[in-house]
Structures are given as C-alpha cells and as structure tokens.
C-alpha cells in the first residue's frame, strides 16, 4: 500500500519542492553567526520537512516529533520513557489522522484514508502504524546521513571538488557515503530461516543474528580498498538500506534529499569547512542510528 508513494516518478515529483526547502535551509545557514551547526540548521530540518510534506501534515509540529523520535532511538531511554514517547508519537499521529478525516490532505495520510481506510482495506490503527513507521524511520536516519555525508566532503576536499565539477559523480558519491558510514549497523536483527555457514561460522536455523552492516560494507573482497571514498566506484551493493523484501522503502527519497543538500552546499558555499578538528566532533554514542550530535562549520 505504501510502495506507490515511493516510486521513482513520485520522488522525482517531490524533488523541486525538496530543492526549495534545501535552498531556504542553506539561506538560514548563511545568515547564522559563524561557526554554525550544520546538523541543526540543515541536516535535521530537511528530513522532517520532507516527511511532513510526504504525509501531508503540518510542519509546525516538527519539533515535537523530532524530540520524540530522538528519545525513541536513544539506547539510554528507560523502558518507561520509551513507552511514554511511543504513546506521545501515537497520540500526535492519531490527532493528525482525526483532522484529515474531516478534511483529507493530498499527502500519504489523506490518500490512504480515502483510498484504503474508507474502503475497509486498512484500519485506523494500521494507518497510525504506517505513519509512525515513516516518521520514525525516515527522519533521524536521513538527518544523520546528511551530516556524515557533509563531513566526508569536508574531509575529502579533492573528491568534493571533483564532484562539484562533475555533478554526474554525485550519485556515486552518495552510494559511497551510505556504504562507508553504515549508520544502521545495529538496526536489522534477523532470524536464521535455515542452517547456514557464514565465513566459516555455523549458524543454525532459529538462531538470532545481528549482521553488522558496517563490516559487510567494508568487506575488501567486495569493495577493494574499502576505506577509500571513491565517487567513481559505482558499486551499490552496500547494506545500509537492508536487503530483501523489507529493505528500506524510503531509500530513493533519502537519496533525493542527500542529493539536494550536497549539491546545494557544494555549489553555493564552496568555501565551507569544518570549524573544529575532526577529533573534537562528538559521536552520538547512545543512538541506535549512528551519527554525530553536531557539525560546526564555517565558510
Ligand atoms: C539515509 C536514510 C535511511 C537509511 C540509512 C534507512 C535505513 C533503513 C533500514 C536499514 C531499514 C531496515 C531494512 C531491513 O529490515 O532489512 C529501513 C526500513 C524502512 N525504511 Fe528506511 N532508511 C532511511 C531513510 C528512510 C526514509 C526517508 C523513509 C521514508 C520516509 C524510510 C522508510 C522506511 C520504511 C517504511 C522501512 C520499513 C520497510 C519494511 O519493513 O518493509 N527510510 N530503512
């Protein structure tokens, strides 16, 4: 039911609006005192604005759901606080659904209400679940990937210049950024459906597995010289979006957001640079989705 919302055609239709949102965010960055925090000013607002656009909900609520999803994806959140955040997100979505019942918008929520809920193919609760999946799955992941992607460009100025002069290399640069950072390393626990052996290690049917995507993405047998950021590598076999029927549904939307931000920043702020040494950047160690807390930049 959700797949038609993520077809390449649908995503291409959203691209002009995404570029406008990015241009506004870059304007705000350029108006901010230096050093400015690129993570807060660009990487976080873009995915939340895009999800509001996708779902057809009011962007005014973005700060609320940003803080809620942050709590949900923080490994130090207690079980009680987790349940509370979950309830708050659910209440927020239920209110949005109730509002759209009276007046369906032209986003995913409105469309599913008219085409699926009113026709009896989807219950209200399932619709709330869908919306939660999109809110939680599409926000923090993309924000962190944008920040780490910019970190890569800022620490690899020669490659950044190469991509700036040859925009046809941007799709390859995005795949490399996704591959190298593998931010979803811990998010795809699996259950072995049959007995197997991986790299000589026997795994029995029914056993739980935490396949570490970062290790797979740096496998030298698949990606020679795996730590090198090479926009021309042209290999999309990384596992950052998972694999199989449940691989990330929003991956083309995430790529479109990354493309819009990286292209705008490389083009509009060629003098952009880190405001602190890399060693002073603070990783968000408690988050399930790997990333940085802040990215101080200047230009
Ligand atoms: C760079 C950003 C993103 C990363 C790294 C990412 C990563 C992932 C991963 C690893 C999975 C699990 C795959 C599996 O179980 O094998 C997943 C699932 C999913 N993602 Fe993403 N994601 C990103 C952005 C998005 C966006 C923007 C959306 C939508 C707005 C989204 C929606 C979903 C949904 C709906 C699923 C569940 C698919 C299913 O169970 O069938 N993701 N994502």
Give me the residue spans of the domains in the chain.
3-184+246-298
Task: Answer whether 254 contacts ligand 1 (Cβ < 6 A).
Answer: yes
The residues near 76 (Cβ < 8 Å, ≥ 6 apart) are: 286
Nearest to 108 by CA among 55, 59, 171: 55
Burial degree of 242 (CB within 10 A; 0-12, 13-18, 19+): middle
pLDDT exceeds cutoff 80 at 4:
yes
Task: Answer whether 248 contacts ligand 1 (Cβ < 6 A).
Answer: yes
The CATH homologous superfamily of the domain defined by 3-184+246-298? Cytochrome P450 (1.10.630.10)
Q: How far is the CA of 86 from the centre of ligand 1 (A)?
A: 18
8 A C-beta contact, residue 132 and residue 93: yes
Who wins on pLDDT, 37 or 288?
37
pLDDT band (50, 70, 90) for residue 36: very high
The residue contributing the CA closest to ligand 1 atom 34 is 249
Pocket test for ligand 1, best of 56, 141, 256, 257 (most atoms within 8 A of CB): 141
Q: How far is the CA of 87 from the centre of ligand 1 (A)?
A: 21
Who wins on pLDDT, 148 or 57?
148
Q: Could you tell me how far CA 223 lies from the centroid of its own chain?
A: 23
The residues near 33 (Cβ < 8 Å, ≥ 6 apart) are: none
Predicted confidence (pLDDT) per residue in 195-221, tens digit: 999 889 999 999 999 888 999 999 999
pLDDT exceeds cutoff 90 at 118:
yes
Average pLDDT over residues 13-29: 97
pLDDT band (50, 70, 90) for residue 273: very high
Task: Answer whether 188 contacts ligand 1 (Cβ < 6 A).
Answer: yes
8 A C-beta contact, residue 191 and residue 214: no
Q: What is the pLDDT of residue 173?
A: 98
8 A C-beta contact, residue 217 and residue 180: yes
The residue contributing the CA closest to ligand 1 atom 17 is 248
Q: What is the pLDDT of residue 207?
A: 96
Q: DSSP per residue over 232-251, as a string?
A: T-------TT--STTS-TTH
pLDDT band (50, 70, 90) for residue 12: very high
- DSSP-derived secondary structure letter, 254: H
Q: What is the pLDDT of residue 170?
A: 98
Q: What is the pLDDT of residue 61?
A: 75
Residue 197, strand partner residues = 202
Q: DSSP per residue over 18-81, as a string?
A: HHHHHHHHHHHHHHSPSSEEHIIIIITHHHHHHHHHHHT--GGGHHHHHHHHHHHTBTTS-HHH
Q: Could you tell me how far CA 207 lies from the centroid of its own chain?
A: 29
The residue contributing the CA closest to ligand 1 atom 37 is 248
Q: What is the pLDDT of residue 199?
A: 83
Return the percent helix, strand and coil in the chain, to nearest 5: 60, 5, 35
Q: How far is the CA of 184 from the centre of ligand 1 (A)?
A: 9
Nearest to 143 by CA among 272, 287, 280: 287
pLDDT exceeds cutoff 80 at 187:
no
User: Strand 208-209 to strand 190-191: parallel, antiparallel, or no bridges (unpaired)?
Assistant: antiparallel
């Amino acid at each position: 039911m959700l797949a038609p919302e993520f077809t390449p055609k649908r995503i291409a239709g959203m691209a002009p609006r995404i570029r406008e949102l990015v241009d506004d965010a870059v304007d705000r960055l350029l108006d901010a005192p230096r050093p400015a925090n690129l993570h807060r000013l660009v990487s976080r607002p873009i995915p939340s604005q895009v999800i509001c656009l996708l779902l057809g909900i009011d962007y005014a609520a973005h700060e609320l759901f940003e803080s809620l999803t942050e709590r949900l994806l923080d490994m130090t959140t207690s079980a009680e606080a987790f349940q509370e955040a979950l309830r708050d997100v659910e209440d927020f979505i239920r209110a949005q659904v109730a509002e759209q019942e009276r007046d369906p918008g032209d986003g995913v929520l409105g469309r599913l209400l008219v085409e699926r809920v009113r026709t009896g193919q989807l219950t209200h609760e399932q619709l709330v679940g869908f919306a939660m999946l999109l809110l939680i799955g599409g926000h923090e992941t993309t924000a962190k990937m944008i920040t780490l992607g910019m970190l890569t460009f800022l620490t690899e100025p020669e490659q950044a210049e190469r991509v700036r002069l040859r925009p046809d290399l941007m799709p390859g640069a995005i795949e490399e950024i996704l591959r190298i950072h593998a931010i979803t390393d811990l998010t795809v626990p699996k259950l072995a459906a049959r007995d197997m052996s991986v790299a000589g290690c026997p795994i029995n049917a029914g056993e739980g597995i935490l396949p570490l995507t970062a290790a797979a993405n740096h496998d030298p047998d698949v990606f020679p010289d795996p730590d090198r950021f090479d926009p021309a590598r042209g290999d999309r076999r990384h596992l950052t979006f998972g694999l199989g029927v449940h691989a990330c549904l929003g991956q083309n939307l995430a790529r479109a957001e990354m493309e819009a931000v990286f292209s705008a920043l490389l083009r509009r702020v060629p003098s952009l640079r880190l405001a602190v040494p890399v060693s002073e950047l603070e990783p968000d160690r408690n988050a399930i989705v790997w990333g940085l807390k802040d990215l101080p930049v200047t230009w």
